[in-house]
Amino acid sequence: MKILTFCVMSALALTAASSAFAADANKAAVTRDFTDTVEPAQQQAYEAGVKAYNQCLRDHGVKYDEYTVTHETGDDTYKYSSDIGPYIWADFDALDAAAKPCSATWHTKANPYLKSESSVFMVDQSDMSHMPADWEKQAPPALLNVIYYTLKPGHEAMTAFTDAAKKIAAAAAKSKWPYYFRALQVRGGDAGAPDYVLVIPEKSWADYGTEPSPSLWKMVESAYGKADTAALRKSLNDSIKDSSSHVDRYSADLSYIAGK
């Protein structure tokens, strides 16, 4: 699995995070994620409800895209995640107002078939990511390798990881490593939510199953040398409390793209 062992993201201290969010309030860096779980017998009815809701958004001319994926692997494959963004924080106030006329459609057509739903905001961490310059304009990848990370408590683990993650991203950029990853910090998650999410685009199952060449750590070693890379790797591993992963598939049928 590509890059699974490398990128464990830390939760920032609350005061530091608050100032960072304020500074980035006008940057298109915020994504809202809704993850729905349905019973197998309710899957068809739920999907019909999502399509009815999307049609309502289309009828009302809502201008915000919402990309939906189905969970292909993981602990419960009857899960759907819908992501809105990245936008600036203020856009979500406007989105709430624009989508309000369709609330009744959601509550009557899709909500009755939910087993559960969770929602979080996710903030892009550009200095911990390695993505093409024009990635937001590209078509959605067929598959997404999604990795959740939670760090051990304490400032020391947070600092060690943050510094290391930035160095890894910098090495990938400097070497023009042709494998991409997007790091997002989770905000507003309930108990059990990860601190950070790493998203790796995949073109196909063959792409997902093919190891990078050079490997991540060989790439990092070429930038920093063996000794520093070994220390970097150990500090990341020592920071990990928990991690898990699953693969998602983009669903054009269940996504809402403004104007289409």
Complete domains list, the chain, with CATH: 14-250 (3.30.70.100)
In order of 80, 119, 142, 162, the CA distances from 114 in angstroms are 11, 14, 25, 37
pLDDT means per 10 residues, the chain with 260 residues, are 34 30 64 96 97 97 96 89 95 96 97 96 94 88 94 87 90 96 92 90 96 96 96 93 95 93
* Residues forming a β-bridge with 32: 84, 121
Q: Residues 233, 24: contact at Cβ < 8 Å?
A: no
pLDDT number for residue 25? 58
**Over the range 100-111, which residues count as b (16 or more CB within 10 Å of their CB) and which as e?**
eebeebbeebbe
pLDDT number for residue 90? 95
Please tell me the number of Cα atoms within 13 Å of 95 on its side-chain side.
17
Per-residue tokens: 169: 């991203």
Q: How far is C-alpha 166 from the geometric centre of its chain's CA atoms?
A: 18
- Nearest-angstrom CA–CA distance, 250 and 232: 34
pLDDT number for residue 1? 34
- Say which amino acid occupies 259: G
Helices (H), the chain: 14-23, 43-59, 89-99, 103-109, 155-174, 205-209, 216-224, 226-239
Per-residue tokens: 158: 């947070």
Q: Where are the extended beta strands (E) located within 74-202?
A: 79-87, 114-124, 143-151, 182-187, 196-202
CA angle 123, 129, 131 (to 5 degrees): 110
Write down the pTM of the prediction.
0.85
